[in-house]
Chain A
Amino acid sequence: MKPRSRLALHVPAPSSRPGDKPDFSGLDIPEAGEIRRPPCDTAEAEMRDLPYALIRVLDDEGAPQGDWAPRLSPDVLRGGLRAMLLTRAFDERLFRIQRQGKTSFYMKSTGEEAIAVAASMALGAKDMCFPTYRFVGWLMARSHPLLPLVNQIFSNEKDPLKGRQLPILYSAREYGFYSLSGNVGSRFGHAVGWAMASAYKGDDKIAMGVIGEGTTAEGDFHEALTFASVYRAPVILAITNNQWAISSFSGIAGAEATTFAAKALAYGIPGLRVDGNDFLAVWAAIRWAAERARLNLGATLIEFFTYRAEGHSTSDDPAKYRPSEEAGAWPLGDPVERLKQHLIAQNEWDEARHEALIAELTEEVRAAVKEGERAGVLGQSKPSVKEMFENVFEEPDWRLIEQRREMGS
């Protein structure tokens, strides 16, 4: 009998750290169009290959390939491109605003814009999204005005959330955009509960919950999947796997052992793994899952495979924990560039129009920021102290009224 080896602890480590050459050689990336698209009413048991695949539509030349390619009009595609570029212009400007000390905190969506924008456009106006903080593209795609967002970021007296919430943790019910939470897992259950209520009422609205790959380790993730599976809730449960949870690489969340989409297998619901930087693939996957939900066939788990091209927030320096060239080396490219390439390849776009659009959106953002600055940046114009006691309940109780009086306001 062989002597037993000594036990050894495994602690996952990323393929490269600062100073190393970025290394994505471990990724298995199929060709665009290679993955089959089963009809959306296919039994889960017949689709257990999909969580390990990677659904891609756009090839290296920007041509759509395979069964997943949606037939989208050039206008729709240009609308998507516009919303992605607006998201990027907004992020760039407001990130600088934070560096200038005009707000305390900011988070960019860079590299992940296709997911929020395509989801926003592919779902209905009455559907409800329970998003992450990298989902401002959802609002951009639905033409949410920029000024209230800016006012929240400045936490000025015109802040729609009245100085109560962090910059960028928006609430926009009228836009199907749930109140963002610092407790990153809790919304997954809310999405399932919302969807089940929709089913109980017999209406046709579905919900979409979104979390990051890091949050799949929270109990909320597994609880939401359990309930979604048990009650066949009409919900799309999405994981944006952007490879990084602040400084923890996806291996710390379990990516070495399996894919995040494969978490669906234990719950008996379909799992899709999708190129999140491919606008067309994201759109197609959302539509597939939405149709399945609307047919009363229940939930789908979708992993959007992407890359967080910037830091987690303005509070961390990614150069401290990963090679600074890593974003540029991401093998699935940049979502904006890929959609632009697709439109140009279709003769529906060109460089000059692209530059003009960026200039227009940059100006739109600049004007909104100027307008917000007129109301005041952080600390200059302040939300009312009196209003601090409002909205704890719909009607304040006596103790709230007393506190307001004690404060002399």
Chain B
Amino acid sequence: MNAAKNNEATELTYRDACREALRDAMSRDERVFLMGEDVGHYGGCYGVSKGLLEEFGPERIRDTPLSENGFTGLGVGAALNGMRPIVEIMTVNFSLLALDQIVNNAALLRHMSGGQFGVPLVIRMATGAGRQLAAQHSHSFEGLYAHIPGLKVLTPATLEDARGMLWTALEDPDPVIIFEHVMLYNMMGTLSADAGALPIDKAAVRREGKDVSLITYGGSLPKALAAAEELSKNGVEAEVVDLRTLRPLDDETILASVRKTRRAVIVDEGWRTGSLSAEISARIMENALWDLDAPVARVCSAEIPIPYSHHLEEAALPQTPDIVAAARGVTG
């Protein structure tokens, strides 16, 4: 399937949209290549690159040895030599093996070299829980990466963003990390034929509302939208802000929404302590405290290693009823 060839909106999954973005980027720019574990014949552990090997060949859809720090470092080197590498890390937990290359190298090089060595590298990885893969494949470290100056951190949560953020990231002269939530891959939707590149520095209001702002990103967006529908049945109109980009955070959009609704619930699949939700909450305090009618509320994952067992996993994650309850709590 090739969405670009159709003139009308196509029905497809988030996974397909990710693949379309890769296909488009590979077609547009010879310097772009994808490398990672099992991305070739296997098509990636989440099936994102399925079929691309046949289309672009093994030099550009490159299977690598099992070595996150190794191939991320190779990506840095290739970026320095004029390429536009896309490194796929199978899952966010494994990206911790590559932290030296991401945090101590890619994020610092331009600054420490006085501007001589920029690293135009894109790193994609699957993140989040919900597929019964236990703690070593299920965490959410987006907030950890959003802590690092020198990185840009994207969390596409819609088909349009899965399709549109990659090319903009590849055009960026600095390292960009893209988080694809595992529970979004099978999400169905439509994508218009002219879907293309989208900005990577702005949050988006996905649902307008006047009573409370649900601020979220990634895999929690569908849950927040479902919560908003639920709240609406009882006359509470929630505004849903999709952060889209976690670094730099779009304070303007967050604060504008909070000033309008005067109440905020932050939904973050990361752990609460020292989290992105804490950062957003602090910024609301710093900039919009007098606009608030209620304390900021947060819905986060239980602060435990995410368990394997289905009911435990579900209990540990932010769920739609939790969001509804939190919103009711602040709207009184």
Contact = CB atoms under 8 A, between A and B. Distances in A.
Nearest to A225: B70
A183 B150 CA distance: 17
Interface string B95-134: 0000011001100011111111110000000000000000
Contacts of B248: 397-399
A104 interface: no
A408 B162 CA distance: 39
A160 B111 CA distance: 11
Interface in A106-151: 128
A165 interface: yes
Contacts of A160: 114
A329 B180 CA distance: 60
Contact of B111 (A191, A224, A230, A392): A392
Contacts of A165: 112-114
B114 A164 contact: yes
Nearest to A226: B65
B226 interface: no
B71 A227 contact: yes
A207 B82 CA distance: 14
Interface string B32-76: 010000000000000000000000000100001101011111111
A326 B81 CA distance: 42
Contact of B76 (A162, A193, A391): A193
How many chain B residues sit at the interface, stated as a range, is: 35 or more
Given A193-B75, A392-B111, A186 B105 contact: yes
Contacts of A200: 33, 59, 78, 83
Given A186-B105, A190-B73, A393-B150, A227 B113 contact: no
Grouping DSSP codes into helix (H, G, I), strand (E, B) and loop, the A interface class, with mixed when no group exceeds half, is helix
A189 B70 contact: yes
Contact of A394 (B73, B80, B113, B174): B174
A192 interface: yes
B77 interface: yes
B165 to A, nearest CB: 16
A260 interface: no
A18 interface: no
Contacts of A201: 81-83
Given A186-B101, A226-B70, A178 B201 contact: no
B201 A397 contact: yes
A181 interface: yes
A193 B78 contact: yes
Contacts of A375: none
B295 interface: no
A164 B81 contact: no
B76 A190 contact: yes
Contact of A391 (B81, B82, B101, B114): B114
Nearest to B121: A193
Nearest to B76: A190
A226 to B, nearest CB: 5
A223 interface: yes
21 contacts: A128-B81, A160-B114, A161-B112, A162-B114, A171-B113, A179-B117, A183-B105, A189-B70, A189-B76, A189-B77, A193-B76, A194-B81, A200-B33, A201-B82, A220-B100, A223-B73, A227-B64, A227-B70, A227-B71, A390-B115, A392-B111
Interface of A: 128, 160-162, 164-165, 169, 171-173, 178-179, 181, 183, 186, 188-198, 200-201, 207, 219-220, 223-224, 226-227, 230, 390-395, 397-400
Given A178-B117, A190-B73, A193-B81, 18 more contacts: A161-B112, A171-B113, A172-B116, A188-B73, A190-B77, A193-B73, A197-B81, A197-B82, A197-B83, A200-B33, A220-B69, A223-B67, A223-B73, A227-B67, A227-B70, A391-B110, A393-B110, A394-B173
6 smallest beta-carbon distances between A and B, as pairs: A193-B77, A189-B73, A223-B70, A193-B74, A190-B77, A171-B113
